[in-house]
């Protein structure tokens, strides 16, 4: 195959058709359809309770009920990062990263990639919140995921650390090119990081917006404000100045 053809035909990493999920009679996902091409960085916005985590859990294969409701295709190697690092406190950082995988060298390299070289023998309790999330990212990387699912991974961090983590995540994505589905409440985080932002509304993808700006992106780029306005409108939020 000629190189340019290869670039044009991106296989689909995630394909969802007609996904439906209800809890106690309340429909959260309502026949949701979504395709994510391999290597695409997608952010998912939506009001609290709109079903973002439910969707992420479904794609991660953690919800058997939703899987039977429609058609769901996802890659084999999937890593999930949550708001809390979920490091095991009784294992040192390197051992957490290596959990279930071999290759100490790979673990050390992953820690170096997230800026934690030298902290391999630290206990999770000795890490700051941001460092713990870096370790969680290293743990997900070491599995060389084809798909990275992230549920509010920076939601518990202070604003400055969050900005640093945005740069790190984007840098890691550029190096490894997994498909990413990032759940966030933060419209700016979505716009700065993702190439495509979805708004979940009434159990389906309400808005599907391509963010066509080069990287690295600045939070203050005036050209991003148009995307912000559209996303806030889709979320039904009026900005107060
Ligand atoms: N295991 C469960 N049992 C009962 N209800 C559930 C369960 N999981 C989710 N729900 C309900 O489904 C709805 C969607 O939840 P979900 O966590 O997916 O929303 P979300 O968009 O991720 O919200 P948030 O932004 O607040 O994290 C909520 O009303 C929630 O109460």
Give me ligand 1 centre to Cα 237, in Å.
Answer: 21
Mean pLDDT, residues 129-148 taken together: 94
| Distance separating alpha carbons of residues 75 and 118, to the nearest angstrom | 33
The predicted-structure confidence for 33-76, as pLDDT tens digits, reads as follows 999 999 999 999 999 999 999 999 999 999 988 867 788 999 99
Confidence tier at 219 by pLDDT (50, 70, 90): confident
Mutate which of 21, 32, 48, 53 to test ligand 1's pocket (most atoms within 8 Å of Cβ)?
53
Domains delineated in the chain = 3-77+145-234 (3.40.50.300), 87-144 (no CATH)
How far lies 6's CA from each of 2, 3, 9, 204, in Å? Answer: 6, 5, 5, 31
Determine the pLDDT at residue 5: 47
Instruction: Give the DSSP H/E element, type plus range, for residue 35.
Output: strand 26-37
The predicted-structure confidence for 165-205, as pLDDT tens digits, reads as follows 999 999 999 999 999 999 999 999 999 999 999 999 999 99
Determine the pLDDT at residue 64: 86
* Ligand 1 touching residue 50 (CB < 6 A): yes
**Which of 144, 64, 59 has its CA nearest to residue 97?**
144
The predicted-structure confidence for 75-118, as pLDDT tens digits, reads as follows 999 999 999 999 999 999 999 999 878 789 999 999 999 999 99
Give me ligand 1 centre to Cα 54, in Å.
Answer: 6
Helix (H, G, I), strand (E, B) or coil at 201: strand
**In 10 A of CB 141, how many CB atoms?**
24
CA 160 to the chain's CA centroid: 19
Give me ligand 1 centre to Cα 222, in Å.
Answer: 34
pTM: 0.93
Confidence tier at 8 by pLDDT (50, 70, 90): low
Measured from the Cα of 200, ligand 1's closest atom is: 21
| Distance separating alpha carbons of residues 101 and 142, to the nearest angstrom | 8
User: Two tokens at 44?
Assistant: 């998912």
Measured from the Cα of 56, ligand 1's closest atom is: 18
Asked if the interface predicted TM-score (ipTM) of this complex is over 0.90, the answer is yes
* Ligand 1 touching residue 25 (CB < 6 A): no
User: Two tokens at 188?
Assistant: 């700016």
Residue 239 has pLDDT above 80, yes or no: no
Going by CA atoms, what residue is nearest to atom 26 of ligand 1?
Answer: 48
């Amino acid at each position: 195959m000629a190189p340019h053809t290869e670039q044009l035909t991106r296989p689909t990493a995630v394909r969802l058709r007609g996904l439906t999920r209800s809890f106690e009679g309340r429909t959260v996902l309502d026949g949701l359809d979504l395709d994510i091409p391999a290597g695409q960085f997608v952010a998912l916005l939506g009001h609290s309770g709109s079903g973002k985590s439910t969707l992420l859990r479904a794609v991660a294969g953690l919800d058997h009920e939703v899987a039977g409701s429609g058609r769901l295709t996802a890659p084999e190697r999937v890593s999930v990062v949550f708001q809390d690092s979920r490091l095991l406190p009784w294992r040192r950082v390197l051992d957490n990263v290596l959990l279930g995988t071999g290759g100490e060298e790979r673990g050390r390299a992953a820690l170096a990639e997230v800026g934690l070289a030298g902290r391999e023998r630290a206990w999770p309790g000795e890490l700051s919140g941001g460092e713990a999330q870096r370790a969680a990212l290293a743990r997900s990387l070491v599995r060389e995921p084809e798909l990275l699912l992230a549920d509010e991974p920076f939601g518990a961090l202070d604003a400055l650390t969050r900005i640093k983590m945005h740069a790190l995540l984007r840098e890691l994505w550029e190096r490894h090119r997994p498909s990413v589905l990032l759940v966030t409440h933060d419209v700016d985080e979505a716009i700065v990081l993702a190439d495509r932002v979805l708004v979940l509304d009434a159990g389906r993808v309400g808005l599907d917006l391509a963010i066509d700006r080069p990287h690295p992106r600045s939070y203050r780029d005036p050209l991003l404000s148009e995307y912000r306005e559209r996303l806030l409108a889709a979320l039904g939020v009026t900005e107060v100045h």
